[in-house]
Amino acid sequence: MFIPLIQVAGEESIDNSQVLESLGVLKFLVVGIANAGFELTPIVILTFLFVIFLLKGLIKYFEGYYKVIIQMYFVKKIRYQMVDSLGNMNFKDFLKLDAGRIQNTLSGEIYKIVSAYVAYFNTLQSVVLLLVYLVLALMANFQFAILVSLGGYLTNLIYKIIYRHTETASINNSKLSHIYQSLLIQSVQYFKYLKATNYFEKYKLKLRSYVDKIEDEQKKIGIFNAILQASREPLVIGVVILVIIVQINVLEGNIATIFLSLLFFYRALNYIMVVQTSWQSFTSNLGGLHVGLELLEDFRNGEEKSSGTIAVERIHNIDLKDVSFCYNPDNFVLKNIDINIERKLTYALVGRSGSGKTTLTNLLAGLIDPSSGQFFINGVPREQVKMSSFRNRIGYITQEPVIFNDTVFNNITFWSEFTPENILRFKNAIKLANLEELVNSFPDGENTVLGDNGILISGGQKQRISIARELFKDVDVLIFDEATSALDSETEKSIQQNIESLKGSCNIILIAHRLSTVKNADEILVMKDGFIEARGSFSELMVSNRSFKNMVELQEF
């Protein structure tokens, strides 16, 4: 717009028909300035232009500010949704998911989702500005604008092919990344075994093969982007030149109006490139969006269905009546279980591997639902109970210690505040778990960071940290799933004494192979093939149950 406006400013009158004609229908701008009582001098027109661009700058600032706010809202919402959906899954369906897929989506692919979001809305914004300049070009010279738009549409058919191939490569890239992450997680988990057997040399070839596959797909995306970047301007300029030739030689168009329309098309050309670049960026990250939506759908399908509203303040009684459980209809893991967990008693589950001990404890902890039978909590059917409040009253010490890459204090107190009350509870917990000597040996005491998966401490020490965490928690039911299996005999004896000291303060459920751990339980349940074969005290079972007596004699538990 500068050139025709400066031309007008150089005239003595705005009635110069040739100059006004060069503005086409946009001559109202100049006429409007004159009608406002301003003399059309270069200073007035340049000031007018400066004001226009100043307003544009202010609008761009508020646009950028608002975009940041919206983007932050979107990023937080998608991450919250991912984390919340994961936390809302039931345990049974969670076991069906691949850990690599979850980690890759929640850590790596989430950035692709955000990038896809940004690229998508940048595309929409650029489309709006593109349409504005196309409308202005149409107003300046209708025929020229139509011809250029038609040419632009035809060239876009070529880009659609590129977009389609880019999208396919992006989706393949994300799926391959899932597998790679899964393999990577396993290489870290089983590093000791892979290293000791020299299998890592073979395993890393598998890792490398997926690195190659991922980079091949990334290479395709890069090549498509390069083709798009290299061909965009030559194609558009070629279309514009062809249309100018047709407009002048065939349609006998006015070069002045063509020139003005071309100026608008030049501005539109910038946004055409932005639209294409943004859309290419969107399709490049579309794989992350696809896998993110697929994972969210799996999360929703596996969501724990709980309509219970009755909160559990304290667990007084857990009662299972004729309960069976299966992961699939053809294979029942538990069959016709009857058990009544009375308050402040100690129960022990014994049996060979695969007899259903851990599955039963998972059921008692509310991790899985019975496939059939009745489950009562304090006399209330399980489906009427708010399960989150029930689990707040459960302590669970697993066979594999759970250690976070944080301080001893935070590991045991689960990030409770450093208050005098919590410090006292912390000290009592480490005393009961026989951890006082270990904690005092650290230079930083309870503020010592234990490293990833507790790399700085031994297996037995990890287990004692896990035990202390549950002792710190005020619970009604404390489940030990072979929790002393990683301890040496002396430490196990100390822990066993501590467990004995807890008797009468809460329900204790023990799964153990060692005789010393279950000998003093109030009731021992002998499990076989998903059934409770026998129950009673240690001395009673030694007399009444031959398989239990054999296990004792062979020290198989």
Q: Do domains 91-300 and 317-554 have the same CATH topology?
A: no
For the chain, the domains span 1-87, 91-300, 317-554
Assigned token pair, 122: 């940048």
In terms of pTM, does the model score above 0.75?
no
Contacts of 379 (CB under 8 A, 6+ apart): 317, 319
Could you identify the residue written with the tokens 């092919």? 161
Assigned token pair, 364: 């008692």
β-bridge mates for residue 227, sequence order: none
Mean pLDDT (the chain) is 79
Collapsing DSSP to helix, strand or coil, 396 comes out as: strand
**What count of Cα atoms within 13 Å lies in the side-chain half-sphere of residue 143?**
15
Task: Please determine, for residue 18, whether its predicted confidence score (pLDDT) is greater than 60.
Answer: no
Architecture of domain 317-554: 3-Layer(aba) Sandwich (3.40)
Collapsing DSSP to helix, strand or coil, 533 comes out as: strand
Q: What span, in angstroms and rounded, lies between the C-alpha atoms of 21 and 8?
A: 11
Task: Please determine, for residue 417, whether its predicted confidence score (pLDDT) is greater than 70.
Answer: yes
pLDDT digits (tens, 9 = 90+) for 185-242: 777 666 666 766 676 777 788 888 888 888 888 888 888 878 877 776 677 677 667 7
Q: What span, in angstroms and rounded, lies between the C-alpha atoms of 411 and 555?
A: 34
Q: Domain spanning 91-300: which superfamily?
A: ABC transporter type 1, transmembrane domain (1.20.1560.10)
Task: Please determine, for residue 397, whether its predicted confidence score (pLDDT) is greater than 90.
Answer: no
pLDDT digits (tens, 9 = 90+) for 349-371: 988 888 888 899 889 988 888 99
CB 313 within 8 A of CB 194: no
Identify which has the larger pLDDT, 339 or 106. Answer: 339
pLDDT at position 14 is 47
pLDDT at position 63 is 83
What DSSP state is assigned to residue 484? Answer: T
Task: Please determine, for residue 555, whether its predicted confidence score (pLDDT) is greater than 90.
Answer: no
**Beta-carbon count within 10 A of 390 CB:** 23
pLDDT at position 557 is 46
